[in-house]
Amino acid sequence: MPTAPPVRLPARAHPAPASASVSGWTLHSAGGCEGVTGSAHLLTCDDARVLVDAGLFQGPDEEAANRAPWPFEPRSIDAVVLTHGHLDHVGRLPRLWADGFRGPVFATAATLAVAEVVLRDAAGIQAEDRARARRRARRAGIAGDAARPPYAQNDLEAVLARGRAVPFHRRFTVCRGVHGTLGRAGHVLGAAWLALDGPGGRVLLSGDLGDADGPLHPPPEPPPPTDALLIETTYADARHRSWTETARAFGEVVGRTLGRGGNVLIPTFALERTQAVLNTLQVLEARREIPAARVVLDAPMGERMTALYRRYPQTLRSAIAHRLARGDDPFRPARLEVARGGSAARELRDARGVVIVAGAGMLTGGRMLQHLVFHLGDPRNALVFVGYQVEGTLGREIVDGARQVRVLGEPVAIAAEVASVHGFSAHADADALDGWWRASGARVVVPVHGETGAREALAGRVLAAGGAVRHARLGEPLTL
Ligand SMILES: [Zn+2]
């Protein structure tokens, strides 16, 4: 079967029969098919077995899912390809190694660098959790040890050593009989979509697709023609507002808080959101829409990621890449201070007119918690959310209107302004996803990486256009 038909017919002209393969590939998902986290898709074609991403399930009740047996034998996998470095796409990689995988791990150089920072941070958290569990067991007089960790430090080092950097657009050999090509997906530093060509045809995996309008990354590159397509659907039932509106709303709350002598607290994730916030502050200062205030970045991992953004400009918007090439730092507001050590919260306790950027994005941990204790009680201050707050997190509790919360074990009254600025999204919205799958000419579309409503929204659009949809279920084989 040709991998790229010379004439692309409308999908309506040849709907795929419900069970026949149009691509020669079979999918076994080990996560990221019926929800947004834990992405891990095994694609098999003849004897070739390629795992795309090996992500962690994230959320309050996902511990068991992350320890569940793989629905395939890790030893039998020929190679892993990573679409990008988010924890929900790379977090189970060390466990895959511990369970017997011994192949190469292909990704862009930037993604390998991001994944290393993300995996080392996660391993540190795993070690802390384990030490805490051991102390708790000892206090309770329980004999024995806490549950065995899913992997050891040497598994992490071994799998990191198997990283193989692949440039965008260059066809590479994934394993015998299978070739891969990566294209720019926007989203976060280094992110790629992946086309896999096997003896029977092509399967295209979108990875996570970026927002065409975001400040840092250009829109995702158009897809190549494909037989089958796995496409993310995080926001397939939503429409984003324009970046101009988002930046204006962000500037308004920052400006009004600084104007009344307050501090602005911005919880951010280390990858992408920290850099987007720093860049937006700088741009708004340059346009004199906000004063050039003291900006304190109290986020060690955010700072490490920002260094990677400076080192790998290839996936950034050309205006930002050009500034970096000139030695002009697009992530540096005029009065930026990078906090060293863990004492910034105490030092800023009585400060006025400061913008504090710190993790974690949903207040599930990180240094922002220490700042909250000192600043939430003052009505001049503002806590500004620039990302979605998941149910069950402290961030969500505050967004939902709590006036009193527990932070680091202490009761804290909230008198500060609480604002949510929507539109800082790293994901494509409904119309962008619709345009992307149509451009691929895919004969079979598998909506993945989305809640049920979002996956159904995209499936509805595909069916209305006469295309064929198949749904992946965790661990069940699906012919593509
Ligand atoms: Zn992602």
* 280-333 confidence digits (pLDDT tens): 999 999 999 999 999 999 999 999 999 999 999 989 999 999 999 999 999 999
Centre of ligand 1 to C-alpha 208, Å, is 5
User: What confidence category does residue 10 fall into, taking pLDDT thresholds of 50, 70 and 90?
Assistant: very low
Cα(153) to centroid(ligand 1), Å: 24
Ligand 1: centre distance to CA 378 (Å) = 35
The secondary element (H helix, E strand) that includes residue 397 is: helix 394-399
Q: What is the pLDDT of residue 12?
A: 39
Residues 358 and 265: their CA atoms lie apart, in Å, by 8
- Indicate where the chain has its CATH 3.40.50.10890 domain(s): 243-420
Please name which of 166, 128, 357 lies closest in space to residue 264, comparing C-alpha atoms: 357
User: What span, in angstroms and rounded, lies between the C-alpha atoms of 268 and 300?
Assistant: 12
Token code pair at residue 357: 């950027």
* Mean pLDDT (the chain, rounded): 93
Give tens-digit pLDDT for 342-356.
Answer: 899 999 999 999 999
State the distance from the centre of ligand 1 to the C-alpha of 323, rounded, in angstroms: 25
Distance in Å, CA 259 to ligand 1 centroid: 36
The whole-number pLDDT of residue 131 equals: 85
Q: Ligand 1 center to residue 10 CA distance, Å?
A: 31
Distance (angstroms) between ligand 1 centre and the Cα of 372 equals 27
Q: Count Cβ atoms below 10 Å from residue 139 Cβ, excluding itself.
A: 8
Distances (CA, A) of 108 to 21, 105, 227, 288, 294: 30, 10, 24, 37, 35
- As annotated, the residues of the chain forming the CATH 3.60.15.10 domain(s) are 11-238+426-479
Kindly give the distance from the C-alpha atom of residue 232 to the centroid of ligand 1, in angstroms, as a whole number: 10
Say if domain 11-238+426-479 classifies as CATH 3.60.15.10: yes
**The pLDDT of residue 63 is above 90:** no
Q: Which pLDDT value is given to residue 14? A: 44
Of the candidates 129, 184, 117, 186, the one whose C-alpha atom is nearest the C-alpha of residue 156 is 117
**pLDDT at position 357 over 60:** yes
Q: What is the mean pLDDT of residues 263-277?
A: 97
DSSP-based three-state secondary structure for 439: helix
The percent of residues in the chain predicted with pLDDT above 90, rounded, is 85
The CATH number of domain 243-420 is 3.40.50.10890: yes
Tokens at 339, concatenated: 């906090």
